[in-house]
Amino acid sequence: MLRERLGKDLLIFDGAMGTQLQEAGLKAGEIPEVYNIEHPEIIIDIHSRYLQSGANFITTNTFGCNPLKMADSGYCYCDLLKAAVKNARIARDKVNPNAYIALDIGPIGQLLEPLGTLTFDEAYEMIASQILIVKDQVDVVLLETMTDLYEVKAAILAVKENSDLPVFVTMTFEQNKRTLTGTDPLTFVNVVEGLGVDALGVNCSLGPNELKPIIDEILEVSSIPVMIQPNAGLPCLHNGQTCYEVTSDEYALAMIDYMQRGVSIVGGCCGTTPDFIAELKKRAPQNVTSRDVKRLTRVSSQNQTVTFEGQVVVCGERLNPTGKKKLKAALKEERYDECVVEGIKQQQAGADVLDVNVGLPGIDEPATMVKVMKLLQEVINLPLQIDSSSPEAIEKACRYYNGKPLINSVNGKDEVMEAIFPIVKKYGGVVIGLTLEDGIPLYAHERLAIAKKIIDKASEYGIAKEDIIIDCLTLTASAQQKEVQETLKALTLVKEELGVHTVLGVSNVSFGLPNRPLLNRTFLALAMQSGLDLPIINPLDQELMGTIDAYNVLYHFDKDSSRYISKQSQVTTLAPLTTSSFTLEDMIIHGLKDEVQAKTKELLQEREAMDVINNVIIPALNRVGKDYETNKIFLPQLIQSAETTKKAFEVVKSTFRVDSQSKGPIMMCTVEGDIHDIGKNIVKVVLESYGYQVIDLGKDVKVEKVVEAYHKYQPKMIGLSALMTTTVVNMKKTIEALHKVNCQCPIWVGGAVLTQEIADEIGADYYSEDAMASVTLLNHIFDERGE
């Protein structure tokens, strides 16, 4: 069994398929998967040579074999998929019957909502259809070169719900240690390990040396087998061909260190060949170096992870309608924008996690929970706590949550645990256990016994105690004054005897008494001293938050008091904030696209249109851009801000007598032979948010079509995009063709395989590495022209 070997035997994957196909005659723009039917002998030969080199796995030639990418191939993706697996099986039977066949599944090619239009369910169905066709003919599913954690989750569920195949997942990271959509290595590991994959790691994008910081972080936090498949170094261009300069010997030497530190599955990506795999085989140890990884309690959003270790984690309580008339009304009237505003306020006030509870009579709780959760995740980086007494609502929210959720809650009743624990296990969440059964026990030792029961029962479902947080339950001092101390005692007992983290709803203690804030912050201080890790509080109460800051200083959690000094030296009173009190600048920064048009119209009654553009919209965008460049926000928030700005611009432009205020036109396309347009689409959206008129020619655009469009539109800038190494040559041909017709406008290029050196080699005027770099470049060029 493959699973029995994982983490014990050093296993070797094959190398690049594309490199070998190019050597065999694959031309730029041709679809590799078509070779499964039209040239099966070439595919079989490539698989055979990798097996002869010592590979334990061969990867099917199906990286893009999904309905979307194969729509223009001339073949049904089902037939291409079957042919690919057949070719792999022929090669295996001929060379090494003990080798494993990995079904290769790459990115679908479209961004999932809210970044794109593809839904989670559509992505799931697409991948599930691939699994169902060949699941009995392969040994493992490899989800590789993934950039979107949400797509990864859909794919993992599609595999696990439609087969019992092992799942390996590798994401591709950029040099800033983030994926395209902003996921860092820690978050990636935390989420996919929770979802129950069999191995995880990194592939593509960079060479083995450049990937070191990313691999180091993955090795530090992953408690399951780690796999790596780097490129053969960084790409360069020689004689019109994309090349990789790292030799097989250099590659193997660089990989030895990783294998000695516990990487248990190795292989190659772009630029690697059977020679690379042969060198890996020759130098690889037989057994895996053991790793001692301490598992910690962690919850995640798509691009931010909160670790419960050496700090008090604040959960914002203000998205729970209990006792909140305005929030109840907003939920019943489906004014979800008020929930988003409340979430933003809590994030700004310093919350680490946000509680989300929509349990009200008369509403569809599962649907409402998912709706509110998705809207929050569009604009907020914080992990969310899914708070419900409905197993159906919890199940649905966990399925569509992008990250590793905190789930509130279970209690000591067997029927409740039996309903909730399977959900926690399946979706890899952290669950809160309430120390009650038919009622709240009065004494600490009784609550300890229920906590132990919850932990023991969870272990039967394969849920580790690191994924459990115990709520010792806050009683009201007005009604049960003596029992308040029992809660504090229970906190200490749970921490010391069970070794798990603890949570309390702090404000319950003061219910029915005057000057509630005084009681709340005093109880909070006592509870933290007794072992409280996760207070559920109002983060807009600055005195409560200040108590936590002071506690972290006095208990040496806040080293050098740096956080305390940063926050307490600039404390100001937080005024109540509503949607109407957001300025237009606030709305752009936070991506509140549903309210921005009304606010823009309101502002235009007081100020001139160009004043609004130059002194409100552009400064707001510049701040968003700076936050993106410094990793304060990530692609989801950048896109939301861009879409919000576009709506504001539409209102402003409607006041112009002549539509001549936009900059441009700018012409963009993905070059011939390349069907990937995610990066180009992102650049387009962001440029449009800055007021540029963008003419999008689409993807796989032939050279002559670009020249024809240049004559037709007379653009002031031309942007060319390429993701595949094989299509860089077409980018060069496009530039050459434009120069032949005396194209005078600057040409800038971008894409995953592009570098400044390659841009220079192919004759481009400029290179930009992402959307914000493109904005900076174009702003500079247009400013120099005085436009």
CA 584 to chain centre: 28
Residue 750 to residue 679: CA distance in whole angstroms: 8
Beta carbons of 308 and 501 less than 8 angstroms apart: yes
What DSSP string describes 216-260?
A: HHHHHH--S-EEEE--SSSEEEETTEEEE---HHHHHHHHHHHHH
Which tokens go with 185? 């290595």
Q: How far apart are CA 274 and CA 54, in angstroms?
A: 9
At 671 the three-state DSSP class reads strand
Long-range contacts of 124-128 (CB under 8 A, 24+ apart): 124/154, 124/155, 124/157, 124/158, 125/158, 126/66, 126/67, 126/68, 127/66, 127/154, 127/155, 127/158, 127/159, 128/158, 128/161, 128/162
Alpha helices in 222-364 (DSSP H): 248-260, 274-283, 325-332, 337-349
Closest CA to 191 of 312, 285, 302, 319: 302
Q: Confirm whether residue 65 is marked as ligand binding.
A: no
The kind and range of the H/E element at 668 are strand 663-670
User: In Å, what is the CA distance from 479 to each residue of 42, 78, 422, 680?
Assistant: 79, 67, 36, 62
204 annotated ligand-binding residue: yes
Which residue, among 723, 19, 537, has the nearest Cα to 731 in the 3D structure? 723
657, burial (CB in 10 Å: exposed 0-12, middle 13-18, buried 19+): exposed
The tokens describing 57, both together, are 């796995």
The angle formed by the CA atoms of residues 11, 14 and 16, to the nearest 5 degrees, is 145
Token pair in block for residue 385: 């706590």
CA nearest to 336, candidates 344, 348, 323: 344
Question: Helices in 57-138 by DSSP H: which ranges?
Answer: 77-95, 120-134
344 with 355: CB under 8 angstroms? no
Q: Rounded distance, CA 139 to CA 740, Å?
A: 52
d(CA 283, CA 305): 36
Contact 531, 502 (CB under 8 A): yes
Tally helices (H) and strands (E) across the chain.
Answer: 31, 25
Question: How far apart (Å, rounded) are the C-alpha atoms in residues 579 and 594?
Answer: 11
- CB contact at 8 A, 33 and 70: yes
Contact 743, 717 (CB under 8 A): no
Residues at the annotated binding site for Zn(2+)?
Answer: 204, 269-270
Residues at the annotated binding site?
Answer: 204, 269-270
